[in-house]
Chain A
Amino acid sequence: MKKEIFESDIGESYIKAVHPSGLKIYILEKPQYTSSYAVFGTKYGSIDTCFSVDGEETSVPEGIAHFLEHKLFESEDGDAFTKYAKTGAYANAFTSFDRTCYLFSCSDKFYENLAILLDFVQSPYFTEQTVQKEQGIIGQEIRMYDDSPGWRVMFNMLMQMYHNHPVRIDIAGTVESIAKIDYELLYKCYNTFYNPANMFICIAGNVDAEKALKQISEAVRAVEPIEITRINQPEPETVKSSYVEQSLAVAQPLFCFGYKEATSKPEKTVKERICTALLMEIIAGDSSPLYRQLVNDGLINDEFSTEHFNGYGYSSVIFEGESSDPKRVSEAIKREVERLKTEGIDKKLFSAVRCGMYGNAIRLFGNVESIAMQLVDCAMSDSELFDEIKYLKSVTVEDVYRHLSELDNEKTVLSVINPIELI
């Protein structure tokens, strides 16, 4: 197995290994900790609805990646939760737009837990009967999210921001789309995206890296690597519509305001992501003049937040929260973006937010879960764990300023959830 060790001046180091199957493995040892956190993941999420392998094109129903995640816990010899119950580990899984991750955390019996993880993720067992049962449970999960204002306000925005990109579709799909899923389709997706060459294992905590690597190496199936081509229809640079609203049983309006960013290449680099993160802090972080003005005008509260939402073929800068007047908030953000473009960025503010972000990057190394999840990000984007800290030391105000041009006030969407009573 090919191995590399990465070290940093903050006293942390990790091993990156590549298994002959193509599986990537990242391990950061924390011998002074009691617990460990492990993730077995695949680059497969809700956006992978159309793909080709060896020239054969396949389209699958929306929500199938999430459905597969639910079903993978069941094996022929019982479900994974029952196996974990014998060790006491906490186990879970999640599906997002571009990844599916199976994880556990434990303070004892790490290698037993790792064996369970390696086994069930590589042992699919789908039958007509178990697929039918899951349609009921996931149907209820979908309905639960239909009532979640925070979820709806975000997806309504994505629906208007993207014409074609499947990021606009709810991760769990719809009751109608999941009804089209059968066990044969599940096997097809599994055999495509759960190929080790498309997967990664990330571990942080009280583990012996060499021992874990040996265990993983012995447990990974010998499968020929395959090349997956993701097929997306071309996505126009424009948004579908700049405003969308829905009414739900809430007491005050919620909003999600996003800038659609150009995606000249499918994924953003670490440098681009850091510049955008700094830029969002400069535009509307809690030390910014805009944040001060919005709070003093009674337009935002502590729920206000920013996010750089990006993945394969999509990128958006998002501002969200609660407000009595979402339109005024979005207009104020647009004005601030224009002001910064004209007047430039306050160097003192840049220096302060960069310092804050550097401290936050250090802070993440104090928690095994956050380290493991950062390693997952590294595996997804082929970057390295210490890149952020390194780049934060050298990034300049000019670097950040250049990214302002990505924010175009003509390519924005404001999504609002209004209280039902007002309609």
Chain B
Amino acid sequence: MAEKLLRLADGVDGLFIKNDRFNTTLVSCNLYLPLKKETAASFALLPFILTSCCKKYPDFSRLNYKLNRMYGARLDATAEKYGDYQLLRMSVSVINDRFSLDGESLVKQACELLLRLIFEPATENGEFLEADVAREKRKAIEHIKGEYGEKRIYAKNRLIEEMYKNETYGMPKCGTVEEVEQISGSALFKAWEAMLKTAYIRFQVVGASLPAGLFDEISAKFADTQREAITDCKVSAPTAPAVTVNTVEELSEVNQGKLVMGFSSELYGNDDCSLPLTVMCDIFGGGPYSRLFANVREKMSLCYYCSASAVRQKGLLTVESGVETANAEAAQKEILNQLEAVKKGEFSDFEFDSSIKSICDSLNSYNDSQGALDTWYALKANNENLYSPTEIAQKISTVTREEVIAAANGVKLHTVYKLLPKGEKSI
């Protein structure tokens, strides 16, 4: 049975994912907003500043002290791209009350804390406080800069930037350094108001029981909020095929190069229409049985890693690989050869069956991870039907060879990005 949402307010849903095997309870607030150049940086800063302090705990040190006292309760914040939208996430997880040594109501305290952080930030006269804004801006800027040092992430980001040059999806998920630098306390306050007014919001609880009164309290919080122009995040624009393949090559002070290839896929969208792409992508570049691992790495020893992943929402497939400059061209050629093989159905029953089994085995493990379950449902906001991991495993097991071949035939090379060691240009 697909999970059912409870409407808590206009554009605000609650979802209780009952699972009594965990010794912790997790509550998350997920906010979906359009990804736009003018707002991306300020929206992305919000989950971080909101989970660092609030009116009751204006100092982040005091807040962390409180979390320790709550038996190491964890606050998490992220800002991600979600198709053509931004997904801001804040969550708290805490051990269940029966494990506290002095009988404290930890889950209740954790829910209260999360709501305080979201709805009662440390602000004055319509502005976030200068010191808090400066601190979080600095951390955000350092985080953006830090990605340059992680070449695998950097290369993938650069591919996406090149591939979606004039589209929102090509923007960095947290804005640019310059955009973050310009954020003021009052602008951030306005962004917070806009977030509460216009985001599609989903509160999720993963645990043995729904904390008493939580959803009512959330409804009450929105009673005074004028909700308008609520984000509909169901549909993202698909990736259009490239007229000509764009190849970008950059040089850096690295020992090993990175080869990242971006493909458009004609098959895209939600769980009801795009699952064969998941299987196709896995046969192509998933586990050790996949075409890329077995051939590009094992048979030809062209690289240490070579794998594919898909963003079904956008109809995007990417291949990532770490290569020596001398092997870059051969690796690219072989990756495309393997794609051609999948298109022609030249994959064995063993490869097909292994892929289905591996995906299903992994999906059936989701119920054992609280964090994975929470993320699973947060990423399903583009679906009308909220299928559980087990239900998706059942659907995956009915995908046919023909559907995989059809999915592969809709995959077209769009952009190639290479990051190569200085002085070793490949072409």
A interface residue numbers (CB < 8 A to B): 10, 30, 32-35, 81-82, 84-91, 105-108, 133, 136-137, 140-141, 143-144, 146-149, 205, 247-252, 254, 285-289, 291-292, 295-296, 298, 301-303, 322, 349, 352-353, 355-360, 362-363, 365-368, 393, 420
- Given the contacts A140-B322, A249-B253, A286 and B148 also touching, CB distance less than 8 Å: no
Partner of A363, one of B72, B101, B353, B368: B72
Establish whether residues A363 and B24, one from each chain, have CB atoms under 8 Å apart when the complex forms: yes
- Give the Cβ gap from B180 to chain A, nearest Cβ, in Å: 13
Give the complex CA separation of A88 and B286 in angstroms.
Answer: 12
- Give the Cβ gap from A131 to chain B, nearest Cβ, in Å: 13
Q: Which residues from 54 to 103 on chain B have a C-beta closer than 8 Å to any C-beta of chain A?
A: 59-61, 64-65, 67-73, 94-95, 99, 101
- Given the contacts A140-B256, A359-B95, A420-B253, A367 and B149 also touching, CB distance less than 8 Å: no
Residues of A within 8 A of B368 (CB): 33-35, 107, 205, 367-368
- B303 within 8 A of partner (CB): yes
Establish whether residues B65 and A287, one from each chain, have CB atoms under 8 Å apart when the complex forms: yes
Establish whether residues A137 and B71, one from each chain, have CB atoms under 8 Å apart when the complex forms: no
Partner of A90, one of B71, B135, B362: B362
Residues of A within 8 A of B353 (CB): 86
Partner of A359, one of B70, B138, B358: B70
Residues of A within 8 A of B68 (CB): 285, 287, 352-353, 355-356
Give the complex CA separation of A365 and B369 in angstroms.
Answer: 11
The bracket for how many chain B residues form the interface is: 35 or more
Partner of B304, one of A144, A357, A359, A367: A144
- B361 within 8 A of partner (CB): yes
- Give the Cβ gap from A299 to chain B, nearest Cβ, in Å: 10
Q: Which residues from 122 to 137 on chain B have a C-beta closer than 8 Å to any C-beta of chain A?
A: 131, 135
- Given the contacts A140-B256, A352-B69, A292 and B60 also touching, CB distance less than 8 Å: yes
- B409 within 8 A of partner (CB): no
B interface residue numbers (CB < 8 A to A): 20-24, 59-61, 64-65, 67-73, 94-95, 99, 101, 131, 135, 138-139, 142-143, 145-146, 148-151, 252-256, 287-289, 297, 301, 303-305, 322, 324, 350, 353-354, 357-358, 360-362, 364-365, 367-370
CB closest chain-A residue, reference B362: A90
Between-chain CB contacts (< 8 Å), 14 pairs? A82-B289, A85-B287, A86-B350, A89-B361, A91-B288, A143-B256, A144-B256, A144-B304, A146-B256, A247-B253, A285-B64, A292-B59, A301-B139, A362-B71
Residues of B within 8 A of A87 (CB): 357, 361
- Given the contacts A144-B304, A252-B142, A365 and B151 also touching, CB distance less than 8 Å: no
- Given the contacts A108-B361, A149-B149, A249 and B367 also touching, CB distance less than 8 Å: no
- Give the Cβ gap from B181 to chain A, nearest Cβ, in Å: 14
- Give the Cβ gap from B393 to chain A, nearest Cβ, in Å: 9
Best-surrounded residue of B68, B255, B369 (most CB of chain A within 10 A): B68
- Give the Cβ gap from B152 to chain A, nearest Cβ, in Å: 9
- Give the Cβ gap from A172 to chain B, nearest Cβ, in Å: 11
Residues of A within 8 A of B131 (CB): 296
Best-surrounded residue of B20, B65, B131, B297 (most CB of chain A within 10 A): B65
Partner of B370, one of A106, A247, A366: A366
Residues of B within 8 A of A33 (CB): 21, 368
Residues of A within 8 A of B69 (CB): 352, 355-356
Establish whether residues A301 and B354, one from each chain, have CB atoms under 8 Å apart when the complex forms: no
Best-surrounded residue of A34, A247, A291 (most CB of chain B within 10 A): A34
Best-surrounded residue of B21, B72, B322, B360 (most CB of chain A within 10 A): B72
Residues of B within 8 A of A136 (CB): 301
CB closest chain-A residue, reference B96: A362
Establish whether residues A88 and B358, one from each chain, have CB atoms under 8 Å apart when the complex forms: yes
Residues of A within 8 A of B149 (CB): 149, 248-252, 254
